[in-house]
Amino acid sequence: MNCFCLTVAGEEMFNSLSLLQCETLCLRRYLKTSHKLYSATYDPNEKTFEKLLIANRGEIACRVIKTCKKMGIKTVAIHSDVDANAVHVKMADEAVCVGPAPTSKSYLNMDAIMEVIKETRAQAVHPGYGFLSENKEFARRLAAEGVTFIGPDTHAIQAMGDKIESKLLAKNAKVNTIPGFDGVVKDADEAVRIAREIGYPVMIKASAGGGGKGMRIAWDDEETREGFRFSSQEAASSFGDDRLLIEKFIDNPRHIEIQVLADKHGNALWLNERECSIQRRNQKVVEEAPSTFLDPETRRAMGEQAVALAKAVKYSSAGTVEFLVDSSKNFYFLEMNTRLQVEHPVTECITGLDLVQEMIRVAKGYPLRHKQADIPINGWAVECRVYAEDPYKSFGLPSIGKLSQYQEPLHVPSVRVDSGIQQGSDISIYYDPMISKLITYGSNRAEALKRMEEALDNYVIRGVTHNISLLREVIIHPRFVRGDISTKFLPEVYPDGFKGHKLTDLERRELLATAASLYVAEQLRSQRFLGTPRIPIAKSKRSSWELSVHLGDGIYPVAVSKDGSSFSVEVDGMKLNVTSEWNLASPLLSVTIDGTQRTIQRLSRNASGSTSIQFLGTVYKLQILTKVAAELSKYMPEKAAEDTSSILRSPMPGAVVAVSVKPGDMVSEGQEICVIEAMKMQNSMIAAKTGK
């Protein structure tokens, strides 16, 4: 077990700790080492609420609890039965189960949550994001019970939560809007008619939606019909509201949003922008603040329109106004999220404000403490959403499993990690597959990106497939580095799908030299027992090894010789010097190759010489054999590949929500067989060939 307790207590004391004591120590460490990167002040004499319930789970519940502790507010966590041992449950002062795993029976179960509020006598509720955060009925029921909703009033939620009504209000408030149909689309036939009138391509999206759920792009009549069907089903599943709207799809735009903050006294501020253009399936992957694209005039214009919209609906809380921005810096209102946004930490980093604290203050009735002129842009912040996803499948299909090893890169300077999991946590099919939000801060963009690169290399996640390889490739890509991005960045840069990092010749030699050095270091370690040779009288003078390393489609001869604590490795006729402490028990290994420092992770190895190494973010599979073993390996039979041509296999775990055929049917290539729902997203499974 690799945990904080072992580090601070030592092995002997660690072995005497109970599981509860161990978890308590780890939790204290979690609270202390979660870097804040904002400089908000907390006045102990400013009274707000004695007890607050968080109607959410995971990282956002943990995020709210941290601020509540600083403000002296006791917290109540709710959880489903599968979340009984979740981090947010352990962090809260009280925790109550509200139902089984499905969200409709737990985190969306208003009756159960209202009952917990009564039982615990919570005075206020913070909804986080998602779930009930933009549900006007929930806010209304809280108000009826005299419980404060940490968010705007029901009128603002109703007005901005309904994309149709919000678009009309935006027009009236002189906010730039996208051309489209302002009413509710009744059925697929009407959707096709409207789409033809607007002109393809069009965006079909849930009226009550957000977070990329219930959203489809259609380029023709057939895609409009299919998009209407799936969007309405996802909208009903995610929001309990299947109404849809259609608007013109602006091709190749940027997605830039403005953070607003307003109180109950008519004051409203815009807290600068967030660049959120790196997306897959309309869901954000990398965000940053500020944007490389906006000039001060455009920033001010967007901020003033965002505030005008907030004032038009008498908004009071933190909220986000999202815009699409074209290449000429024309911007169009997309939607307003009447809640705390997932990517809010980058705004906190550059402004110094704690947005959760501000939301709580506003909900209690306090006026804002700042004027527009007080809001700075200090430095640069970047956020990567770390997901339990396979980035090689459609830029990220969900992965499930138990985190067998987990270590956040908090030793890297100016890093903040917002997470709600720990080693041993389960990533299940029931909830969003986000592991954490990894945030880095720098005095400028280059510094923030360099720290992000280092943080991703030092992030240890074992037990589930994750998207760190994709995140790292995005932030070092020349187009991203120079700020040349749009919402089409991923499909444009990776038209054939993400394939991982493509090694240069130098990087390939570095990887081969590192892998060979690791192999030799392990061979040398295996000859020793408790720091002494296994057989003291049998002194081995061996100092050189001839190896064969298989990487990708190539087999490379590698010669390794020991030179003190370093290895001299010859690859492709070139010699490289590899040095390290060679702590093979550590999940992270710092290696210096000809003066270049690399942080690598060895994920697996076996007796046949096969090993997996995470290098430059991507996992590479290698086989390292001695020269003799490599010559003999050609006699080993190869395992035949499985014939999957007649099999329809789901690319991810999920629930089958619809079956479109029956046994005996003749199906054609491309025909839908069934629909799989995973992490609230529906995916059509199609036949790969014609058959019965």
Distances (CA, A) of 438 to 134, 458, 598: 25, 12, 20
With CA atoms as reference, report the closest residue to 489 among 471, 503, 504: 471
CA distance 436 to 529: 40
CA distance 622 to 640: 20
| Inter-residue contact 113 to 98 (CB < 8 Å) | yes
Q: Where are the beta strands (DSSP E) in 209-316?
A: 215-218, 244-248, 254-262, 268-280, 283-289
DSSP helix, strand, coil percent of the chain (3-state; round to 5): 30, 30, 40
> Which two three-digit tokens encode residue 292?
């490389």
> Which two three-digit tokens encode residue 565?
């604590």
The yes-or-no answer on residue 473 being catalytic is no
Of 223, 273, 335, 510, the catalytic one is: 335
Q: Where are the beta strands (DSSP E) in 410-507?
A: 415-419, 426-427, 434-442, 460-462
* Bond prior to 495 in cis (omega within 30° of 0): no
> Which two three-digit tokens encode residue 373?
């002129």
CA distance 140 to 161: 14
Strand order in the sheet with 254-262: 331-337, 317-325, 254-262, 268-280, 283-289, 380-387, 434-442, 415-419
CA distance 523 to 628: 16
Give the burial class of 140: count Cβ atoms within 10 A of its Cβ; 0-12 exposed, 13-18 middle, 19 or more buried.
middle
- The DSSP string of 48-60 is --SEEEE---HHH
Residue 257: strand, helix, or coil: strand
- The DSSP string of 493-528 is H-TT--------HHHHHHHHHHHHHHHHHHHHHHTE
With CA atoms as reference, report the closest residue to 593 among 662, 656, 510: 510
Cβ-based neighbour number of residue 526 at 10 Å: 9
Give the active site residues.
335
